[in-house]
Each structure stands twice: as C-alpha cells, then as structure tokens.
Amino acid sequence: MASDLLQYLKKKKLRLYILAGIFLFYHLLFNSFTGQILLNKILASAIATPAKVQVQGFSPLFGIKLSDLEVYPSPEWGSEPFFRLKELQLSYNLPLLFLGRAKISKIGVHGLHLDLKQKGETWNFSSIFLPGKKEPEPPVPEKEPRTSIRTYFPFSAYLMLDCKDINVSVDSENGPKSYKAALKGLELGLEVDTNRFTRIPLDLSAIDLIDEFSLQLNPKNEVTIQFQNASASLDHSFRLTWIWERHPQDQDVFHSKMDLGSERIPIQFRNRTASPFAFSVKYDLDLSAKKKELLLRDLAWKVGEDIWLEGGGKVSDIREKSAQVNLAIQKSRIRLSPFSDFLHSLGFYDISLAGEASLAPVLAEGSWENLKILGEVKGNGLEIRLGKKKHSIPTLYLDWSIGLRPGSQEEPNSARPLPWLDSAICKNFKVEYNGMRLGGDLHYNRSSGPSLDLNLENFSLGDYLAGYSGRFFARLQAKGPDFSKLNADLKLKANGFKFPLARGNSGNIGLDGSLSSILYFPKKPWGLTDIFVSVLDLEADSPDGQAGARLNSSGRIGLGDNFVLDLKKTRLDVDLENLIPLLPLSLRETLIPVRAQVGNGIGLLGDFYFSSNSHGQEIRGGLGLDLPGLDLRDGKLSLAMQMLGKPSSQIKIENLELNGFAGKLSFRTSGVLAKPGKGDPPPSMGEFSPDLKGGLRIVAKENSSLIRGLHFRGDMGLNFTWLGSVIQGNLISKDSNILVQNSHCPGYDCKMYRIDGWNSNVPFTHDLSVKETKNLIEGNKRKFVMNYGRTPAPNFTIQQILGAHPSLKGVPFEYVKPKSNSPGLSANLEYSENYLRMDYLKVNTLDGEIWGKDMIVNVGSGDPEKMEYSVSLRVKDIDLKQLLPAKSQSKIDDGKVKADLNLWGRNLGDPVPNLNLFFSVYQIGNDFGKSAINIFAPSNLFTDFIYGSYAVDKIELELSKGLVYAVILFKRSILGTFINLENNQVSQQRMPLANFLKRAQSEIETFNQ
C-alpha cells in the first residue's frame, strides 16, 4: 500500500514542484515588504504632505492589511497628524469572480482619529492635495435614464464592514463664529449577502436582491458628543443604537431596534448649567418575510418625564394590495412647562411656555386599498411668550379622520387633485388664539365632493398689521361636486375698523359685506382659472349705523394665461356727510371742498373690463355718474384704451367720452401716448408724449339748468390738439347766455349774475416744455391808453352783464350794457407762447366807457409764484352815483369821473403784497372829491371847513408793497387868498392797504344811508 502511494507521488512530482514554485514565487513577489514599498510610492505621488503606514499583509488576490497609518498636514497646521488609523483591513477574494461571486470578506476600520481644523475658509486636510490643472469636462451626450444594470452572467455579492472606535473632532477658528465639536466612540457593523442576479434594478426593487442583511450601530456602547462655542458647551454620552438583524430565535424574521437619546443632558449656556434635560426615541420592530407581517412594538418619543408619543401595531400581508394595517398612537402628553423651566435655567427668561397638549389617540386601520385614519388633537391652556409677544391658545380641539387609497395608481386631475384621498372629515374644530375664535367643519367624500363651513370671531386686525385696528367676524361656506368647481359664500362684519393714511388715521368704521362666487379649476389640480362673482356687497357705516358708502357688483375674474377683470352693473353710492368724518384728515381736507361743490350724494353705476397678457393691457368701460347736489343725474363716462408692451411703451386711447345733462355737455378725446426714444424731446405727460385731439362742448337751444345755480343757453366749446409739449386750440362761443345764482334766489339775499350774448373765437397755444418764467413785464405808472386809427375786429364780445348790486342787497345792477348797437364789452384776446394778451378792450358801463390796452399775463412755466401781469385802463365819463341808492343819487351834483389806471405785479401765489397800482383821477365831482379827502385826511370842523372851500382838481393814488401813497390837488379859490395850502395839495404817505380799504368802505356807507 505504501509502495503504491510512493509510486503515485513520483509520477506527480513535477506537478507538485510547479505548484509549490508558483506559490513561493507569488509570496516572494506579493508580501508585506513589497506592499510597503508599493504603498510608500503611491502615497508619495498622491499627496503633498508626509504620511506613515505599516503594511502587515499584502495580496492582490485576497486583500491588504495596514496598521498605524498617519497623515500629516502642511507645517503651518502643526506637527501632529490630522488622520490616524490604528488598523485598516480590506479582505476580498478575486478568484471567486470566476465562480460568479463578488466577495468583500471584510472592511475593517479600527481606531480612527480624524482631527479637522479650520482657519477662515481653509481646512487642514486641503493641504494634502497636489496642485492640478482644472480641465474642462467634455460635454456628456444626453441619454435616456437607465432603469437597471445588466451583468450578463449570474452573480452574487457579499460585503462585511466593521468599524470600531471612530473618533472625529472639528476645531474651527472663524472669529465670533468659532467652535469646537467632537464625536467619540462610534461603532458600525454592516453585513450584506445577495442572491444570484443578472440585472441590478436602479430603484427600490433592488432590495429584493438582498438575502442576508445586518446593520449594527453602537449596539452596546454609547457615543460621546462634545460641542463648545463662545456661549454654549456640551460634553455628554448619548445612546445611538440602531440594529437590523436576523431574529435570534426565528431566522425568518428581521428584527430592528432603535434607541436614541440620553438622560440628564448637561448643557451649559453663558456660564449657566441648565436643568437636566432628557429625550429619547425608541422602537422595536419585527419584519417576517414568510408571514408577510410587520410588527411594531414599544414606539415611544419621550421628552423629559413626559411621553409625547407612544404606540405600536402591525401590518399584515405586506407588499400585497390586500395588506391590512392596524397601527395606533395610544398615549400622548406634551407639557410645555418643563421645557420652559429648562430654557429659564439657560437664561432665556424672555421665553415662557405653559399648557398641555395631546396628539392621541390616532388609529390607522384597513387595507392598502381602503385605509382609515382617525384621531384627536387637544390643547389646554397653551401659552407661548417670546419677549413682549404673547401667543395664547386656551382651547384647541380637532376631531379628524381621513380615508386613503395608498395603492391608487390614478393620476391627479382637476376634479381629484389628491387621488389617493378617499374622504376627509374634520368636525367640531375649535381653536382660540389671543382672543380670536375659529371653528367649523370640513367634509370631503369622493362621491359627494368637498364642503367647508368656518366661523371666525373677534379677529383683531391690529395684531397683524401695524397702524390698523378693528374686530372682524366672518363666515366662509364652500361646497362643490368635486375640486374642479367650488361654490363659495363669504359674510364679513367688522367693528371699529381704522386704517392709517399719511400722518393721520381714519375714524371708527363699521364694515358689513357679503360675497357669493364660483371658483373653477378646469385644467389641472389647484389650477384656479376663473372666479365668477354673482354678489359682491360691501357697506361702510359710521359708529351710529349711518351708511357712508356702499358697493355692489358682480362679474368675472380670469386667472389663466390672460388676466381678466370683468365687472358688471357695479354701483357705488357715497354719502359724504356720513363718510367724511370717518376718513383720515388728509382725505377729509380733500373731500370737504368736493362736498361743498357737488353735495352729499355721489352715485356711480357702470361696467368695467380689464385684461392683461404678455402683449399688453386693455381697458374698456362705461360709468354712469349721479350727483344730485349738482342736478347731474345722467352723467356717463365711456373709455376704450390699450396699453401696448410690458412695461407699456404706448397707450392707445380709442375713445374717452364724457356726456351729461341730457346731452348738453360732451367731452371727447382720442389719440396716442408714447414713450419717447433716444434723442426725442422729453415727455410732457409723466413718462409719455401725447398726440391727442379732442374737445369740450356745451349746447342748449333753450335756457337750461346744468348744475344747481347754473343756467346756460347757446353754444360754447373748447377744441384742442396736444402734440408733444404743445397744446393749441380755440375757445369758441356763439351767442351764449350764462346765469349764475345762489340758493336764495329769488329773494332779498339773492345773488345773481347773468352774461348775455357772449361770442368768442380765441386761439390759444401753450408749451409745457417751458420750465422757467422770464421777467418780461415792467410797469410804467405814467402809461395811459390812446388809440389811433382803426382797431382790429374783436374776437371776444359780451352783450351785457347783469347782477346783484355790489353793495346793496336785493337791488339789481347793470354792470355792462350795449350802446348804439355795440356790445357792452369787446376785446381782442390771444394766448400764445405762454402769454395771455388782451388789447383794444372797450367796456360800456355806468353811462361811460372803460378802455384797455396792453393787458398781458405771463404764465411761463405755470408756477403762480413766478407769474406776471400788467394792464392799462382809461376810465371815461363813468357816473359813480349810479352805484348809490336811488334816494341818495339826487343829493349828488356830479358823479362823472375820468381817470387812468395802470396795474402790474408778480407772484399770483401771494398777490396783495406784490401788487403795484397807479390810479390818476383828473376829473371828479365835488361830492366824491370830498369823500376822497375824508379817506386820506383826518376829519374835524376846521379841516372840513377849509377842505370844503376848495375844489378837487386831481387825485393820484399809488399802491406799492401793500402801502398806499396819495396826493390830492386843489383848484385855486377865494379862500386861498387868506388861507394858503402848501402847493394847493393834501398828501398821505405809507397808509397800510387794510386801513385804506376800511376808510373807503366807511365813506361808501355814508352814501348808502
């Protein structure tokens, strides 16, 4: 027997020698010594800093084992290594690839110490990298995303990872943001073994390839977490256990366990040690592939001494459509007071928490096709204070339930944006927050659709918007067959609503409103495209219930690609008497003069259309205007315009028309407003340059009442063109009669003025580009009017002007009257180059004439403070005694007056101090002459006797800077032989204008007695 074995070995001797030679050669070539040389060269060429390592074993076919690996940073980071590894083992078996198995027997990492340091934006580990050139990445051609990786041959894989004593520290030096952190004692074990496969799915179905799986994160030891910055520090051990493994008693069951947290965590903040604080998250889970069952036990989330959540349950028939779910949260207690004490111990005294809440019970039960979840949320006495801000929730209750279809494959659509939601109920919802109360019900069912009923009470607007105040009450109801169409009704009421404007606040306003609408979501989930409003009613009242304004409307709002606002039969009624006291001071000051002109009532009624898209905007509408205070009951404004471009570069006004008073009043305009381009003149209307044509016209064949106190008959119009900065046109009137009277007519206190026979054709041109007013007018007090030769035909005439007597109540007076078939007033007017010129003025009044020439008003830039004016008049034979009562006229011997008047000045913003006037009377009767003396000279018996003995020859009066200068010249008389007046005159210097007017008024009243 032995001889046979020896004989066999002799025959196989050569083969054995060959195998032994290969084995010896492999180990001579690949061993710890050659591995050390190879690894040293790799490290020297791969990193820029020193590194040390000991190779314990090296085999290309089976792995490598290293010890005492150290990597050093550059010298500026110190001489200590930032990476230290006690042992690294990488074991694999390449020959098994020929048998269709990829096996990594072990990746072992033991004793890792990683010390990371940062200065500014630089880390110490960045110093190990060699400088390199960054080459542009070649473009990656677009490919369809892969769903799997094909191996073509059957393979299986095995991986084992063993990490122990992992320590990481971070030291960041970054000014006030500096900090230190460390994690010590981390352990991780992972083992994965797969079934054989020829395809690797790139989705969650890859889990099916796993045959054995084990994960152990710190199964026994705790980890130490350290942290320190300028204000806080922490150094404490924590449980960080997470395990996935085969059940020790049943290999068919996967067991998972988690335990995160710690007890009595010592946190220091600003040299204060906080009260011990604890938290933990735990669960225990079994997953059986054979029973297709998941069993969850001991799920708990604990904070301090309170269990915030506690529950468990199971899921049967996992991965089947018929899976049965039975999970529950049985216990929940969330007390905020202990957490508040913890914050106070850290010094956060501005934060206070109180109250108790509960999230239990919660029950999930049913199948994967019909899962029901119901629960309750309760809160009692919840209060959160952050500084001076208080959040108080004394009551919170929510009873809810939902029905789900987690396995639904239905795509979301407009009718069912949440196709996996079968039903939802929220009943008896109640919450109180800082005095506000919100409650109601919410229902949804796939067959009947959604419905909502919410009530809001005592909502304080001032808590959310600074400067506003008011208590609001609202009710919102919504219902629809599905989510593609919802009918919504809103009722709103507010007490004491106030809003700010400029530097003032409004008064207390009461609001009462309602809204009924339909919301459409036709195309995509939650894609609201249209809102149809059937009722919009809003009323603003005073505190005593008097209506100040009311708005009623209906229409459509389009929210698709084109925004559309289309309002129909919109009506706004305003009572200014009740509304003005409610408004802020700035609005009150604006509307009080309006009320004086138009009365208390304002009514607006009409339609309005607005659309906006990527090409521009369009506005169309017709608005009726009702102003009973002005007797305007049929006013109508029509508008059609387009704004082209975004932002608008051109506004095209197709039509802007205003009509009223039964068609007697009309205003029309049309044209284009365009933004100027580079090199064009600057705009004259905001950002635009206009090219407009239009006109205003009033036509009445018979005497007609326009507004209260104004009557008109005739044809009057204003035509204009506005091109760039120049406005030009004509003021035209054809035999127009105008009557203006107050509310006391007829009667003793009646004040009435009537203009008859007004004819005009006055051209005008105004340039808005003029930005300054040049001083062109210089007054000459010696100027007087003289006409030579023929005068041009007047373009402005008035036949006569009648009105109330200037000083006597209830007495009519004829201011201007015709004479010898000539109009009572005629002149030649022209407005051009921002000047108003009037020449050849003739007025027939008081049985005499007034002639005027060289009248100029320099408008310039339109600033009243820089405007100038000048006029020269000659008074010829007007009879002043016609201004007196009839009983006083017989006492006047001669009332005829002849005089010259020159008037000029600047600054119409403050005209009286800047008025200059020279008045020269060269013929006056004795009675009015004596009155002139009484105005300027003190009156007594002696002076009355002396002045009464002289006849007035001439009076010269001058007004300058608010002071009156006067000289009265006398004719020589017999008394002058005995009593000699100096230069036969009486003068008065620097008499204030107010004193002069007071004396003149007193002297006039002596004639009216």
Tell whether the model's pLDDT for residue 781 goes beyond 50: no
Please give the pLDDT value at position 57: 85
Tell whether the model's pLDDT for residue 892 goes beyond 80: no
Tell whether the model's pLDDT for residue 978 goes beyond 60: no
Please give the pLDDT value at position 785: 46
Tell whether the model's pLDDT for residue 539 goes beyond 80: yes
pLDDT digit string, tens, across residues 357-387: 999 999 999 988 889 999 999 999 999 998 8
Please give the pLDDT value at position 113: 94
Assess contact for 747 and 722: CB atoms under 8 A: no
Between the two ends of the chain, the Cα-to-Cα distance in Å is 174
Please give the pLDDT value at position 984: 63
Residue spans of the domains in the chain: they are: 47-120+153-201, 420-613, 648-676+687-769+793-827, 846-1008
Tell whether the model's pLDDT for residue 895 goes beyond 50: yes
Please give the pLDDT value at position 897: 84
- Categorize the per-residue pLDDT at 975 as very low, low, confident or very high, splitting at 50, 70 and 90: very low
Please give the pLDDT value at position 734: 94
Contacts of 905 by beta carbon, 8 Å cutoff, 6+ apart: 779, 868, 869, 870, 911, 914, 915, 916
pLDDT digit string, tens, across residues 787-843: 445 567 899 999 999 988 887 777 888 889 998 888 999 999 999 888 888 888 899
pLDDT digit string, tens, across residues 552-566: 999 999 987 789 999
Question: How far from 427 is each of 361, 477, 936, CA to CA, in Å?
Answer: 16, 14, 93
pLDDT digit string, tens, across residues 735-753: 999 999 887 888 788 888 9
Average pLDDT, rounded, for the chain: 84
Sign (positive/negative) of CA torsion 428, 432, 435, 437? Answer: negative
Average pLDDT over residues 639-659: 88
Most confident of 26-40, 335-349, 397-411: 397-411
Please give the pLDDT value at position 950: 55
Calculate Rg over the CA atoms of the chain: 51
Please state which of the ranges 261-265, 287-291, 400-404 shows the lowest mean pLDDT: 287-291
- Categorize the per-residue pLDDT at 979 as very low, low, confident or very high, splitting at 50, 70 and 90: very low
Please state which of the ranges 4-18, 488-502, 701-715 shows the lowest mean pLDDT: 4-18
Share of the chain above pLDDT 90, in %: 36
- List helix spans (H) across 108-156: none
Please state which of the ranges 207-211, 253-257, 831-835 shows the lowest mean pLDDT: 207-211
Please state which of the ranges 549-563, 676-690, 708-722, 949-963 shows the lowest mean pLDDT: 949-963
Please give the pLDDT value at position 784: 43
Average pLDDT over residues 507-529: 92
What gap in Å lies between CA 812 and CA 814, rounded to an integer?
A: 7
Assess contact for 951 and 973: CB atoms under 8 A: yes
What gap in Å lies between CA 125 and CA 71, rounded to an integer?
A: 9
pLDDT digit string, tens, across residues 924-961: 767 666 777 677 665 544 445 444 555 666 778 888 87
Nearest to 665 by CA among 715, 604, 618, 723: 715
SS (H, E, C) 869-920: EEEEEEEEEEEHHHHCCHHHHCCCCCCEEEEEEEEEEECCCCCCCCEEEEEE
Classify 773 as helix, strand or coil: coil
- Categorize the per-residue pLDDT at 43 as very low, low, confident or very high, splitting at 50, 70 and 90: confident
Most confident of 312-321, 518-527, 982-991: 518-527
Tell whether the model's pLDDT for residue 977 goes beyond 60: no
What gap in Å lies between CA 624 and CA 660, rounded to an integer?
A: 9
Please state which of the ranges 21-30, 396-405, 608-617, 720-729 shows the lowest mean pLDDT: 21-30
Please give the pLDDT value at position 338: 87
Please give the pLDDT value at position 92: 83
- Categorize the per-residue pLDDT at 149 as very low, low, confident or very high, splitting at 50, 70 and 90: confident
Please give the pLDDT value at position 12: 62
- Categorize the per-residue pLDDT at 631 as very low, low, confident or very high, splitting at 50, 70 and 90: confident
Average pLDDT over residues 856-881: 86
Tell whether the model's pLDDT for residue 423 goes beyond 60: yes
Provide the token pair at 339: 């957490």
Backbone angles phi, psi at 310, to 5 degrees: -150, 130
Q: What is the pTM of this model?
A: 0.70
Other residues' Cβ atoms within 10 Å of the Cβ of residue 13: 10
- Categorize the per-residue pLDDT at 584 as very low, low, confident or very high, splitting at 50, 70 and 90: confident
Average pLDDT over residues 129-145: 66
Tell whether the model's pLDDT for residue 642 goes beyond 80: yes
Q: Which residue has better confidence, 997 or 268? A: 268
Assess contact for 533 and 569: CB atoms under 8 A: no
pLDDT digit string, tens, across residues 653-680: 999 999 988 888 999 999 998 988 887 8
Secondary element (H or E) of residue 248: none
Please give the pLDDT value at position 783: 47
What gap in Å lies between CA 193 and CA 216, rounded to an integer?
A: 15
Please give the pLDDT value at position 893: 72
Provide the token pair at 649: 């570069």
pLDDT digit string, tens, across residues 827-842: 999 998 888 888 888 9
Provide the token pair at 960: 């300058």
What gap in Å lies between CA 525 and CA 419, rounded to an integer?
A: 10
Assess contact for 605 and 570: CB atoms under 8 A: yes
Average pLDDT over residues 591-618: 85
Tell whether the model's pLDDT for residue 319 goes beyond 80: no
Assess contact for 308 and 301: CB atoms under 8 A: yes
Q: What is the secondary structure of 670-739 as a DSSP string?
A: EEEEE---TTSPPPSBTTBEEEEEEEEEEEEEEEEE-STTEEEEEEEEEEEEEETTEEEEEEEEEEEEEE
What gap in Å lies between CA 665 and CA 973, rounded to an integer?
A: 65
Assess contact for 828 and 840: CB atoms under 8 A: yes
Other residues' Cβ atoms within 10 Å of the Cβ of residue 492: 17
Contacts of 189 by beta carbon, 8 Å cutoff, 6+ apart: 161, 162, 163, 214, 215, 216, 217, 219
Provide the token pair at 803: 């009105």
User: What's the burial of 79, exposed, middle or buried (CB within 10 Å: 0-12/13-18/19+)?
Assistant: exposed
Q: Are strands 179-194 and 306-316 parallel, antiparallel or unpaired?
A: unpaired
Question: How far from 306 is each of 301, 358, 635, CA to CA, in Å?
Answer: 9, 11, 73
Please state which of the ranges 116-125, 780-789, 804-813 shows the lowest mean pLDDT: 780-789
Please give the pLDDT value at position 9: 56
Question: How far from 224 is each of 167, 188, 278, 315, 529, CA to CA, in Å?
Answer: 9, 15, 15, 36, 57
Local structure of residue 99 (DSSP, 8 states): G
Local structure of residue 935 (DSSP, 8 states): H
Please state which of the ranges 18-32, 275-289, 846-860 shows the lowest mean pLDDT: 18-32
